[in-house]
Amino acid sequence: MDEAVGYLRAKGVQLLAGPVASRNASAGQHWQYFLSPWGMQFELVSFPAGKACEKEAAVRLWHPGYPAE
């Protein structure tokens, strides 16, 4: 997330709220809002170690790092 936010900042992209660390069931998730050059709002979301709600879940949510699981 830090690298992505740094890249956006270096390119002069307008950053909005964030980066923000979520809490409670979404602990482990970070997000950053930003505006595209044409004014559309986007959101970067990262939870590389998973979210707190997944730690003891019976079913693991899809994760790009483990696409086959």
Q: What is the pLDDT of residues 51-60, one digit of tens each?
A: 666 667 677 6
- Amino acid 34 reads F
Which of the four pLDDT bands, split at 50, 70 and 90, describes residue 18?
confident
Residue pair 21/61 in contact by the 8 Å Cβ criterion: no
pTM above 0.75, yes or no: no
Q: Output the pLDDT for position 49.
A: 66
Q: Output the pLDDT for position 11.
A: 94
Which of the four pLDDT bands, split at 50, 70 and 90, describes residue 24?
confident
Residue with tokens 């809490």: 23
CA–CA distance, 13 with 9 (Å, rounded to integer): 6
